[in-house]
Chains A and B, each alone.
Chain A
Amino acid sequence: MKIIADSGRCIGAGMCVLALGEVFDQSEEDGTVVLLDPDPPASMAGAVRRAVQLCPSGALSLAEGDRADGESDT
């Protein structure tokens, strides 16, 4: 699963960091999202999906072919 972060849309609300601090961080400068791990392991899929869903600004998305729907990784 690949995460795409559009820092141009990000408003630095920090919901993603709160939901999954292992994967998301915020820049010290303007609070926008920093991906610590753009390609997190499948075991985190549920938490990643939740974080993407919580993002208020639509800055986060999952790349095509991700396993967000629980299908096998092909």
Chain B
Amino acid sequence: MTEATTRPVTLPLTRERPFDPPDALGLWRDEDPIRPLAYPDGHQGWLVTGYAAARAILADPRFSTRIELLHTPLPQRAMQFRNTLRRPGFFLRLDPPDHTRYRRLLAGQFTVRRMKGLEPRIEEITRDHLDAMERAGAPTDLVQAFALPIPSLVICELLGVPYADREKFQRDSAVLLSLNSSVEQIEAAMKDLLDYLDDLVRRKRAEPDDDLVSGLATETDLTDEELAGVTTLLLIAGHETTANMLGLGTFALLRNPEQLAAVRDNPEAVDHAVEELLRYLTVIHIGPLRAALEDVEIDGRLIRAGESVTISVAAANRDPERFPEPDQLDVARPASGHLTFGHGIHQCLGQQLARTEMRIAYPALLRRFPGLRLAVPAEEIPMRTDMAIYGVHRLPVTW
């Protein structure tokens, strides 16, 4: 092993091109898929960019997601991790058996069959937003008119959160996901959101409705505090992620007209196309993050107990050893097995919902507006390199 490959690097966040992960990640992956990473708080941990190693670590119970064990690769957040965010109900940051308890209570609500049952309503919501776009006329910002409101409304209805309150939770979750937010800003946004959802949980307990939060309130032993935490996690994870896939995915298709045509014209192509867009675009800008609970050897590298690992699923999804010609968007390729929803026990709870939304929304948009195109030069589209979930801030389109 050469000196150069063992020297710790810092995590790159800016991107050279809108649809590709930072170039450095790809170079490092091909050289050394597990390499030392210097964390801003002085910790020395690891950066994983290879597919096989990423998948192995995400599936390995010797790695923890507990916030109090993690160092963050993000300079602005260095102080935040240790003492905050460890909140009841945030099971993304719990290990078994605590994690298992929540996952079991929720997984039945997100099964493939349940999501199939939501299709008619998602189709209707999509239609309503397309109608509104048509009425308002071009040009429009696709993020505000389509990509953000559809998943927001869907998750609100599912959870039983009033959609009328969206400005509040969209604002708070934007602060939580911004890489530039200060610790104080994050704390304030989290408190605001938790207070709001705590209130909601109390109302649902008093007057249960036909929604997920009411169901959890009446049929499980979750406390108000735990339930508010669960709802916060579902609300944030449930709208920003899919929203960014819809915005960025449309941008990518507009730059690849042949692939766009396949998604628009061939219903059979849509399922594959969604998997490939998930792989190619990997909206998870940073992470997932893990910490070793004991010494673990992976690929000849010794990761010691207590060391943090930043797994770049964006780089792993471009690993040529797993996906041939990885930097090519090819909506016909078999892309399943990508790590965009993670892997192991924390693999995305809402993935079947996200798939259902995307499978409906992309073709519906492209069929309604066959002449859809960017309303500004592609270079002017503001990219979300400053957010934990990558995507476009705005996507001005016309038709």
- Would A11 and B347 count as touching, CB distance under 8 A? yes
- CA separation between A7 and B67, bound complex, in Å? 27
- Bitwise, A5-41 to B at CB < 8 A (1) or not (0) is 0000001111101110100011111111000000000
Other-chain residue from A11, A14, A27, A53 in contact with B352 (beta carbon distance below 8 A): A14
- Would A18 and B352 count as touching, CB distance under 8 A? yes
Q: How far is the CB of A20 from chain B (nearest CB, A)?
A: 11
Q: How far is the CB of B241 from chain A (nearest CB, A)?
A: 15
A58 contacts chain B at the CB level, 8 A cutoff: yes
Given contacts A31-B107, A54-B336, contact A18 B344 (CB under 8 A): no
Other-chain residue from A15, A31, A50, A57 in contact with B108 (beta carbon distance below 8 A): A31
Q: Which of B110, B112, B347 has the most CB of A within 10 A?
A: B112
B-chain residues with CB within 8 Å of residue A13 when the two chains form the complex: 107, 341, 347-349, 351
- CA separation between A58 and B343, bound complex, in Å? 10
- Would B352 and A30 count as touching, CB distance under 8 A? no
Given contacts A12-B107, A13-B351, contact A56 B112 (CB under 8 A): no
Q: Which of B110-140 contact A (CB under 8 A)?
A: 110-113
Other-chain residue from B58, B109, B345, B355 in contact with A11 (beta carbon distance below 8 A): B345
- Would A54 and B337 count as touching, CB distance under 8 A? yes
Q: How far is the CB of B87 from chain A (nearest CB, A)?
A: 21
B104 contacts chain A at the CB level, 8 A cutoff: yes
Q: How far is the CB of B290 from chain A (nearest CB, A)?
A: 14
Q: How far is the CB of B352 from chain A (nearest CB, A)?
A: 5
- Would B344 and A56 count as touching, CB distance under 8 A? yes
B-chain residues with CB within 8 Å of residue A28 when the two chains form the complex: 108, 111, 113
Closest to B100 in A: A11
A-chain residues with CB within 8 Å of residue B344 when the two chains form the complex: 56-57
- Would A32 and B107 count as touching, CB distance under 8 A? yes
A-chain residues with CB within 8 Å of residue B21 when the two chains form the complex: none
- CA separation between A11 and B341, bound complex, in Å? 13
Secondary structure at the A interface, as helix, strand, loop or mixed, is: loop
- Would A56 and B111 count as touching, CB distance under 8 A? no
The interface on chain A, measured as residues whose beta carbon lies within 8 A of the other chain's beta carbons, has a size of 23
- CA separation between A54 and B108, bound complex, in Å? 19
Closest to A8 in B: B100
- CA separation between A57 and B351, bound complex, in Å? 15
- CA separation between A15 and B278, bound complex, in Å? 15
Other-chain residue from A12, A14, A31, A56 in contact with B343 (beta carbon distance below 8 A): A56
- CA separation between A26 and B110, bound complex, in Å? 10
- Would A14 and B111 count as touching, CB distance under 8 A? yes
Q: How far is the CB of A48 from chain B (nearest CB, A)?
A: 14
- CA separation between A58 and B108, bound complex, in Å? 19
- CA separation between A54 and B112, bound complex, in Å? 15
B59 contacts chain A at the CB level, 8 A cutoff: yes
Q: How far is the CB of B193 from chain A (nearest CB, A)?
A: 26
- Bitwise, B349-361 to A at CB < 8 A (1) or not (0) is 1011001000000
- Would A56 and B342 count as touching, CB distance under 8 A? yes
Closest to A17 in B: B112
Other-chain residue from B113, B343, B355 in contact with A26 (beta carbon distance below 8 A): B113
A-chain residues with CB within 8 Å of residue B104 when the two chains form the complex: 12, 30-32
- Would B108 and A11 count as touching, CB distance under 8 A? no
Q: Which of A12, A13, A26, A32 has the most CB of B within 10 A?
A: A13
A-chain residues with CB within 8 Å of residue B103 when the two chains form the complex: 11-12
**Other 14 A-B pairs with CB < 8 A, given A17-B112, A56-B345:** A11-B107, A13-B341, A13-B349, A14-B110, A14-B111, A14-B352, A19-B336, A21-B112, A26-B108, A28-B113, A29-B108, A31-B106, A31-B110, A58-B59
- B interface, CB within 8 angstroms of A: 58-59, 103-113, 336-337, 341-345, 347-349, 351-352, 355
A-B contact pairs, 20 of them (CB 8 A): A11-B103, A11-B107, A12-B107, A12-B108, A13-B341, A13-B347, A14-B111, A17-B111, A26-B111, A26-B112, A28-B111, A28-B113, A30-B108, A32-B104, A32-B107, A53-B337, A56-B58, A56-B343, A56-B345, A57-B344
Among all A-B residue pairs, the 9 with the closest Cβ atoms: A31-B107, A12-B107, A56-B347, A26-B111, A17-B112, A31-B108, A14-B112, A30-B104, A13-B347
